[in-house]
Chain A
Amino acid sequence: MSKKQSEIKDTIENRDRIHVVMFFLSMLFLFLGVAILLRVVHIQASYTVDERVIGLFRPSVQKHVEPPVRGKILATDGRPLAISAPLYDIYMDCTVRKQEYAETGKDSLERAWREKARELSVYLSNEFRDKSADAYAKAILDGRDKGSKYLRIQRNIDLSTLEKVKSFPLFREGPYTGGFIVEKHEERIYPYDSLARRVIGYVKEQNRIGLESSFDSELHGREGYEWRRVTDNKRWVRDLDSAQVKVQDGNDIRTTLNVDFQDIADRALRAQINEDDGVRAGICIILEAKTGAIRAMVNLSRGDTPQTTLWERENLCLREVGEQGSVMKTVTLVSLVEDGYVKTLDQTLPTNNGFVPGGYNQDVHILDYQRETGRRDITVMHGFEISSNYVFTWLAENYYGKKPQEMFDHIYSYRFGEAFDFDITGMGTPVVNRPGTPGWSKTTLGTTAYGYSLSVTPLHVATFYNGIANKGTMMKPYLVESVEKDGKVLKRFEPSALNSSICSPATADTVTRALRAVVNEGTATRLRSAKLPVGGKTGTARVVLSPKERGGSSDPYSDIQGRKKFQGTFVGFFPVDNPKYTILVTVYSYPSHRNFYGGTKPAMAVREIVDKLYALDGTWDSEIRPTASVPLMEQKAEVEKGKVPDLKGYGLKDALYTLESMGLLCQYTGAGHVVGQSPAPGTACKNGQTVKLTLK
């Protein structure tokens, strides 16, 4: 074979090998292509995910979210008014291991489980005392028969109880044998129950009211998260290679509320209105005169049904906008004195049989006054004491009739025209019928002077009176004094003035004298003998009825049966000569034929509050300082063993010490120093013998 032929043969062999390789490669790709196609069809049509496969793809770390602990709401002395703590719900999977026991065919296992369930029932019944042991056993065993996997055992139990329950028979065997299921949920605990509840507020899922709502951003805190991985011991630990955001618990809010004051005010108010089902609601505000700090804010209400028990249902102190009645005469008086129209409280005005020209109703009380005194004039002071509508209408018309805006300027400067900034949102907006507004009429000026035609909240009224108590500086009422974290103050809210001078100190003194006279001689004499001198004003106002309540009556203040709704108020401060606290109590009635006066229930509640605060506040505590000293013994008593010592001139303590150190007993009469003893000094004595001492 020539060389050329040989080369040709090699080429052909090479080609054949390439063809074979290419053939196998193409077959391989064809096979893979068909396999992929079949796999796609299989996945689309009938593939189910294998748990073992999923396990391989599951990340080895898991995100764990840590919720923050909501901050506390504290009273001014640090006592908690609201705390967060988890509560637990217990459920039971009654079917636990039932199938497994059935499959083994051993009845003894099932019988043993049921026996333990009966034993558990006894423990549950003893712990919760809500059902008998038989009832618990029936529920659990019926649940097992019917396949109940989520039988409720108890809700809202605390951690101590949970730990106890965990140790009960069956439950102590854990979830896989005992069927024990625990669900934890964060709850807000209010240790004083209903006390100041409307001020503190509440958290209910997404609903928040009161301070819980206004300071939610401070109280809530910030959620944290971390990534966790599982260790070789199957424990979850933090994955140090992943990001972590530390949880930030909420800050604490320290309020100005004093639990004792709140408690006293709450009980005093309840004592006055609890038994009277004609009373719809009662409120009380106690302000510290110098700062405007709210020490107590009570909002007791029955709601729409008279039979319902009193509860903190709505914040009437803040939201009940209404005509306040005669307590607003003080507003008129302050304006008149400040403007110099009333120079002295003894200034007189004619009685005119109780008539003020211009369409006003006659004040029949003036007729009584004329009859009783025989006078045809009346002093401003007496008109204020007896709360005469005529006197204040006459004064308003006479001095502000031609320039009503001057009086309304005063009203606005007392902040009666606005819902000023407050720590709880939702303060009611006042309604002022000033000249030029649709509510203005020819009698509006006069009616405003005695507390109608001007609608404000009780907090407005208390703030104004606090201004008088504070010699003209009207402090802004406030409820929160600081934001704290672990006892450290982060933010402090200082007292501030709403109006640094609503009137001069001289005007405030004059009006204070008038307020004192109301208590001593006027409509609030129930407070005359309070343990601290009180100055204040009563007010009784008819309340405008809703169209539904009116039931077709044309009179906005009464229904078709002639029934009226009243609110009686007492507002003032004490002690009147150096005011420390301002107090307002208002009682609201249901529609009735009865009258509710500010000088009765509200004044009596104030009296009780003042008397109790006098004893508890600490301001009026007295001190005893030593005026003499007891001389010290300069030398030790000479004692001869076995003989009664001479104890004359000894104090009881020294005499007792001497006798007892000798092993003798002592009986004594009187007080002071030893003047006589039996047996006599020097008498032989035995251990345990009694020596009688006479002290003088």
Chain B
Amino acid sequence: MSAKTIWTAFRNTLRALRNGEFLLRIRADKYYMHIMYLFLLMWVTILLSLQVDKTLTQAGDNQAAIDQLRIHYAEKEAALVKLHSASAAEARLKELGVELTLPQEPATLIKKK
């Protein structure tokens, strides 16, 4: 292929592009459905990729929220457990001026017949 042939093809291409005839010249209408299908696939791929990102971001946020709740739970549990001992209860009763003390005798349980 000579340089002249290449130049002619290049010039024709530019002209076809200018006149809006490029796709017709290369007979792309024959592959219209294929081209559309390719565009659809690309669009779906991009959409899915964005959805995956969105889901992963959401999952990350949820995980962070779960972690935060776990920390809150551990802190509250520790604070609550601190009060759940005989000496803590006695100290609190004393602080409130209540005369109630720990039981001195075993409990008497009422059982059904």
List the interface of chain A (C-beta within 8 A of B).
69, 79-80, 83-86, 158-160, 189, 191-192, 195, 231-233, 235-238, 240, 259-260, 263-264, 266-267, 611-612, 614-626
A615: nearest chain-B partner, CB-CB: B103
- B28 at the A/B interface (Cβ < 8 Å)? no
Q: Which residues 19-66 of B sit at the A interface, judged by CB distance below 8 A?
A: 50, 52-53, 56-57, 59-60
Once bound together, how far apart are the Cα atoms of A555 and B103, in whole Å? 49
Once bound together, how far apart are the Cα atoms of A108 and B20, in whole Å? 60
Interface stretch of the complex, out of B2-10, B73-81, B92-100: B73-81
- B68 at the A/B interface (Cβ < 8 Å)? yes
**Contact assessment for A621 and B75 in the assembled complex, using a CB-CB cutoff below 8 Å:** no
Q: 14 additional contacts, CB 8 Å, given A85-B75, A615-B106, A622-B107?
A: A85-B74, A231-B56, A232-B50, A232-B53, A235-B53, A237-B57, A237-B60, A238-B60, A259-B84, A266-B87, A616-B102, A621-B107, A621-B108, A623-B111
With A231-B57, A237-B57 in contact, is A620–B106 under 8 Å at CB? yes
B92 to chain A, nearest CB (A): 14
**Contact assessment for B75 and A622 in the assembled complex, using a CB-CB cutoff below 8 Å:** no
Which A residues are in CB contact (< 8 Å) with B107? 618, 621-622
**Contact assessment for A237 and B78 in the assembled complex, using a CB-CB cutoff below 8 Å:** no
- B86 at the A/B interface (Cβ < 8 Å)? yes
Which B residues are in CB contact (< 8 Å) with A79? 81, 84
**Contact assessment for A86 and B71 in the assembled complex, using a CB-CB cutoff below 8 Å:** yes
**Contact assessment for A159 and B85 in the assembled complex, using a CB-CB cutoff below 8 Å:** no
Q: List 17 contacting pairs A-B, 8 Å CB cutoff, sorted by A.
A: A69-B70, A80-B78, A83-B78, A85-B75, A159-B71, A191-B79, A192-B85, A231-B53, A231-B56, A233-B57, A235-B57, A237-B56, A238-B56, A620-B106, A623-B108, A625-B111, A626-B113
**Contact assessment for B109 and A263 in the assembled complex, using a CB-CB cutoff below 8 Å:** no
Q: Which of B57, B72, B82, B86 gathers most chain A CB within 10 Å?
A: B86
Which B residues are in CB contact (< 8 Å) with A158? 75
Which B residues are in CB contact (< 8 Å) with A617? 106
A193: nearest chain-B partner, CB-CB: B82
Q: For the side of the interface on B, what is the size category?
A: 20 to 34
A311 to chain B, nearest CB (A): 16
Which A residues are in CB contact (< 8 Å) with B53? 231-233, 235, 237
A236: nearest chain-B partner, CB-CB: B60
A617: nearest chain-B partner, CB-CB: B106
Once bound together, how far apart are the Cα atoms of A617 and B52, in whole Å? 57
Once bound together, how far apart are the Cα atoms of A616 and B84, in whole Å? 14
**Contact assessment for B108 and A80 in the assembled complex, using a CB-CB cutoff below 8 Å:** no
Once bound together, how far apart are the Cα atoms of A340 and B12, in whole Å? 124
**Contact assessment for A615 and B71 in the assembled complex, using a CB-CB cutoff below 8 Å:** no
Which A residues are in CB contact (< 8 Å) with B82? 191-192
**Contact assessment for A191 and B86 in the assembled complex, using a CB-CB cutoff below 8 Å:** no
**Contact assessment for A622 and B81 in the assembled complex, using a CB-CB cutoff below 8 Å:** no
Which A residues are in CB contact (< 8 Å) with B112? 626
A620: nearest chain-B partner, CB-CB: B106
B86 touches which of A263, A611, A618 (Cβ 8 Å): A263
**Contact assessment for B52 and A160 in the assembled complex, using a CB-CB cutoff below 8 Å:** no
Once bound together, how far apart are the Cα atoms of A54 and B106, in whole Å? 76
**Contact assessment for A615 and B104 in the assembled complex, using a CB-CB cutoff below 8 Å:** yes
Once bound together, how far apart are the Cα atoms of A618 and B105, in whole Å? 10
Once bound together, how far apart are the Cα atoms of A155 and B12, in whole Å? 76
**Contact assessment for B85 and A160 in the assembled complex, using a CB-CB cutoff below 8 Å:** no
Which B residues are in CB contact (< 8 Å) with A235? 53, 57, 60
Once bound together, how far apart are the Cα atoms of A84 and B57, in whole Å? 27
Which B residues are in CB contact (< 8 Å) with A189? 74-75, 78
**Contact assessment for A263 and B74 in the assembled complex, using a CB-CB cutoff below 8 Å:** no
Once bound together, how far apart are the Cα atoms of A624 and B111, in whole Å? 6
Which B residues are in CB contact (< 8 Å) with A622? 106-109
B107 to chain A, nearest CB (A): 5
Once bound together, how far apart are the Cα atoms of A612 and B68, in whole Å? 41
Which B residues are in CB contact (< 8 Å) with A620? 106
Once bound together, how far apart are the Cα atoms of A126 and B57, in whole Å? 37
- B1 at the A/B interface (Cβ < 8 Å)? no
